[in-house]
Amino acid sequence: MDSNNKTALIAIGGNSLIKTGERGTLDEQFKNALDTARNIVKMVQRGWKVVITHGNGPQVGAALIRSERASSEVYTHTLDMCVATTQSEIGYLLQRAFYQSLKEVNLNLPVTVVPTMVVVDPNDPAFKNPTKPIGPFYDRKTAEERQKKLGWNIVEDANRGWRRVVPSPEPLDIVEFDVIKSLVESGVVTIALGGGGIPVYFNNGKIIGCEAVIDKDRSSALLASKLGVDLFLISTATDYVYLDFKKTTRKPLTKMTSDEAEKYLAEGHFPAGSMGPKIESAIRYLRNGGKQVLITSYEFIEDGLEGKAGTQILL
């Protein structure tokens, strides 16, 4: 893929920071961030201008637990504040990782983190129907105990255990869009929209934070559309998008159209707790004027750009 003066939005998933089976220590997270950054820097070497967005499910869950357990000694954090703190926490890890990765290949480019607010509707039905999983996985007994003690809403997630769920309203606009656009056009490696963005709404000229978490793939699709990027790259835990994933009949998809993706989604191939939001977001981006989506694991980004790995989705 010719990359002269092309732009890409790269939405990195949880496996880019905390892999299955890891405790999620800061050392583990930095090592994983460095592995991810090194693969994205290969794109930068080819001339791509990039903006990186990221999830924060485990981190925001940990931030909430810290806040709750320390509530008798220090002030607590609301959910929007936890999103804000994890944007800085993860952004800092990624910023260090990108600086190191760029230096390793003798590229002298600035790297910056943009704490990002995303506008939502305070009357969005999502606030009455929490669905977004955050934090660690629990066995059912532990999750139910936390439900009773802390008032959590819980759900079984992707057959890996039980998690807390919170409201996930629709992203409508990005407050810092002009700043992000200017940085990306200037060639700055830009890390933004962490955790889907800090959910806010406007009320008589004031910005009000919300107790919610926005799906990072949906807000990434919104930012990708508004920026008009040439490539929306979704980095996830698998090398391809699969039909019948986790079944003996599973089949990797190398290419599909947005119509085919919508058909497979309706047939139940892409569960809500895993690939579903990524496919929905890919469709949104393409139908809002987007050019190309690539879904793959960060290890296969370079091969994916050459059509040797990953799933390409076109309009």
Residue numbers annotated as active site = 14-15, 132, 216, 278
Four-residue CA torsion sign, 304, 222, 251, 235: positive
Going by C-alpha positions, the residue among 219, 194, 10 that lies closest to residue 91 is 194
Give the ranges where 105-234 is alpha helix by DSSP (H): 140-150, 177-185, 216-227
The helix or strand, by DSSP H or E, that contains position 252, with its residue range, turns out to be strand 251-253
Q: What's at 135, amino acid-wise?
A: G
Q: In what order do the strands lie in the sheet with 162-166?
A: 132-138, 162-166, 153-156
- DSSP 8-state class, residue 129: S
> For residue 252, with 0-12 CB atoms within 10 Å meaning exposed, 13-18 middle and 19 or more buried, which class applies?
middle
At 52 the three-state DSSP class reads strand
Q: Supply 285's token pair.
A: 């981006």
Q: Supply 37's token pair.
A: 């950054």
* First-to-final CA distance of the chain: 17
